[in-house]
Amino acid sequence: MPSMICVAMLVDEPSRAIAAAERARDEGADLVEYRLDTLFAGEGDDAGAAACLEVVARSPLPCIATCRPVYEGGGYEGDDESRFGLFEAMIAADRPPRYIDVEARALRRAPGLRARLAAAIRAAAASAGDDRTRLILSRHDFDRRPPDLFRQLADLRAQPEADVLKIAFRARSLRDNIDVFELLGERDRPTIALAMADTGLLSRVLAPKFGGLLTFASLDAGAATAEGQPTVRDLVELYRFRDVDPATFLYGVVGWPVAHSLSPNIHNAGFEALNHNGVYLPMPVAPEWEHLKATLATLLDFGPLHLAGLSVTIPHKQHLLRFAKEDHTRRWLIDPVAERAGVANTLAISGTDSEGAVYRVMNTDVPAVTGPLAEAIGAEPNAALGGRRIGVLGAGGAARAAALGCFEAGAAVTVFARSAERAHRLAEDIAQGSMLRLGTAAGAPPESRGRIDAKPLDAVSKTPCDVFINCTPIGMSGGDDEHASPLTDAALDAMPPDGVVFDTVYNPPSTPLLRAARQRGLTLVDGVEMFVHQAAAQFHAWTGQPAPVRLFRRVVLESLPPDEREHA
Ligand code: NAP
């Protein structure tokens, strides 16, 4: 049976709940979970119970009726005796719920009630047959992964009256998703297993891959009933939940933070357009090397995950390269550009371990600068950039990719940064790295290399350049310098008429820098172009197919806030 999407909602008033359930149905949900405990707030028990029965009876979708007690993280303050009485009434009603969710802890606390509930379900079965209400026996841990997780599963399995087992716990890291999948692999009856928090998203989206009965979703981003629930729209449209199956390949973006990355939007759209059986997810991994190392090892070791590719972003680009160099248990191929850059942003896995998988590490940021720049100039990179005076603004990761790519294409590069020391270090790194690796497999051909030096940022107006590449966050939406430009008017005025201004900032696509350059008739390259190019190279490495670049660009522009869409 395919996994279902269940929209979970806290019910405050019956008619509003029914309207929300109708919307859930229209957006593609199969099931709705009514958290009915909220109906008792300020109501007497009788009024609350009547409202519960009304909601279940009017539900436009099959439903799970849940009335969570306070001792299990819910809002129901009454005793279990009355709560089980409510369940009995629902089960016996003309339009009973498809499921009721009862906590394993509640059954343990009240063995007498367990017998009553079982009798009510049996009685309903006699009259309703297959339409009878089914019992979900649940365990939750909102704080952590329980240390005795698998014993908890065994306890649940020992309860014969449970039709469905449910275990949900808060993930501490991505690695906890693997426990969820292993737990599902041991199921002896329909099972719901989920990890909460943003690190648990894998367990929610990949439920169909590992045979989970259902996954929970919210109707709106702010209306989740548990941490980390995606919206039903994201599940269906962004993550293509209906297409996920046991053979689906997993991809994702590893970084910290990654919640606002647009990479899931473009890669999932690309997979859909090319009919590639893959899903791409945000994968937050805490900043330290130890976290990246442990997470990557766990994900790579778990074959059934079918991990096929990763985008890797701040702060793990260096860590990925280090992992590839230090891990001797797999066959790694480090692309020369990644080796020379000292950072990598892509992992592509081909084949399986049994047939000798190859783990390829790449840097697609470098060609994502030189490619669009050469296109803007209208020639091949070396012809376009050879001998040109290129000013790179900033000395971070993007600046390193830009400076390396331009240097190796033969340009005369000057790195400008507010920290003269960082600028010099970057320039020296690139020049020396290239010299050190001269004649090695990773070395750039000597004839193509240009020159590189460094200056403080305030020297930019006095240093004529044919091309400027902004690699600082100045002009970025939401940043401290959102309305500022990294270049003075004097620096732009000193550019030749065929000068090019490249802003790597992509939100907004039209930055103050690009607007000022456009006014002067200079050629522009925006950060969307770079973003799309680095993603397109990843997509090609993963699928072997050319990326739908125009689709990527459209998806990025549509995903940015509406008032930021004016294009440079
Ligand atoms: P990073 O490693 O943090 O480097 C940022 C650099 O900008 C540092 O050298 C920093 O100087 C400098 N900087 C920051 N604020 C500044 C200011 N107010 N004035 C002068 N310099 C300033 O970040 P990154 O990864 O290189 O990313 C930089 C920008 O590139 C991002 O904002 C992003 O928009 C863009 N980017 C775009 C793409 C794309 O695909 N389009 C990809 C990667 C990055 P200090 O060293 O002194 O702090």
Q: Decide whether any atom of ligand 1 lies within 6 Å of the 506 Cβ.
A: yes
Residue corresponding to tokens 């305030």: 458
pLDDT tens-place string over residues 508-566: 999 999 999 999 999 999 999 999 999 999 999 999 999 999 999 999 999 998 654 45
The pLDDT of residue 565? 46
Q: At 47, is the secondary structure helix, strand, or coil? A: helix
- Are 529 and 523 contacting, i.e. CB atoms less than 8 angstroms apart? no
pLDDT above 60 (res 224): yes
Residues with Cβ within 8 Å of 127's Cβ and at least 6 positions away in sequence, in order, are none
434: confidence class by pLDDT, cuts 50, 70, 90: low
How much of the chain exceeds pLDDT 70, in percent? 96
Of the two residues 44 and 30, the one the predictor is more confident about is: 30
pLDDT above 50 (res 2): yes
The pLDDT of residue 128? 74
The pLDDT of residue 49? 93
pLDDT tens-place string over residues 450-474: 999 999 999 999 999 999 999 999 9
What mean pLDDT is predicted for residues 297-304?
Answer: 96
Residue 317 falls in the annotated catalytic set: yes
**The amino acid at 226:** A
**The amino acid at 33:** E
Burial 481-492 (b: 16+ CB within 10 A, else e): eeeebbbeeebb
How much of the chain exceeds pLDDT 90, in percent? 84
* DSSP secondary structure letters along 67-127: --BGGGTS-B-S-HHHHHHHHHHHHHSSS--SEEEEEHHHHHH-HHHHHHHHHHHHHHHHH
Of the two residues 16 and 435, the one the predictor is more confident about is: 16
Q: At 499, is the secondary structure helix, strand, or coil? A: coil
Separation CA 247–CA 252 (nearest Å): 16
- State which ligand 1 atom lies nearest to the alpha carbon of 472: 7
Q: Which of 27-41, 117-131, 444-458 has the highest mean pLDDT?
A: 27-41
- Which residue in 166, 209, 293, 317 is the catalytic one? 317
Separation CA 30–CA 326 (nearest Å): 46
Distance (angstroms) between ligand 1 centre and the Cα of 396 equals 6
- State which ligand 1 atom lies nearest to the alpha carbon of 419: 47
Q: Is 407 exposed, middle or buried (0-12, 13-18, 19+ CB in 10 A)?
A: buried
- State which ligand 1 atom lies nearest to the alpha carbon of 531: 40
Report the range of poorest mean pLDDT among 7-16, 41-50, 77-86, 175-184: 41-50
Distance (angstroms) between ligand 1 centre and the Cα of 399 equals 7
Which of 471, 538, 557 is the pocket-test mutation for ligand 1 (most atoms within 8 Å of CB)?
471
Alpha carbons within 13 angstroms on the beta-carbon side of residue 87 total 33
Separation CA 483–CA 476 (nearest Å): 8
Q: What is the 3-state secondary structure (H, E, C) of 250-314?
A: EEEEEECCCCCCCHHHHHHHHHHHCCCCEEEEEEECCCCHHHHHHHHHHHHHCHHHCEEEEEECC
32: left (phi over 0), alpha (psi -120 to 50) or beta: beta
Q: What's the pTM?
A: 0.93
The pLDDT of residue 447? 63
**The amino acid at 62:** P
The pLDDT of residue 456? 95
* DSSP secondary structure letters along 132-169: S-EEEEEEEESSS--TTHHHHHHHHHT-TT-SEEEEEE
Closest C-alpha among 149, 157, 236 to residue 190: 157
pLDDT tens-place string over residues 98-114: 999 999 999 988 888 88
Q: At 334, is the secondary structure helix, strand, or coil? A: strand
pLDDT above 80 (res 436): no
Separation CA 185–CA 302 (nearest Å): 13
Of the two residues 522 and 355, the one the predictor is more confident about is: 522
Going across the sheet that includes 451-456, the strands are 451-456, 412-417, 389-393, 467-470, 500-503, 523-525
Helix ranges (H only) for 219-262 are 232-233
Mean pLDDT of the chain: 93
Residues with Cβ within 8 Å of 141's Cβ and at least 6 positions away in sequence, in order, are 168, 169, 170
Which of 265, 365, 418 is the pocket-test mutation for ligand 1 (most atoms within 8 Å of CB)?
418
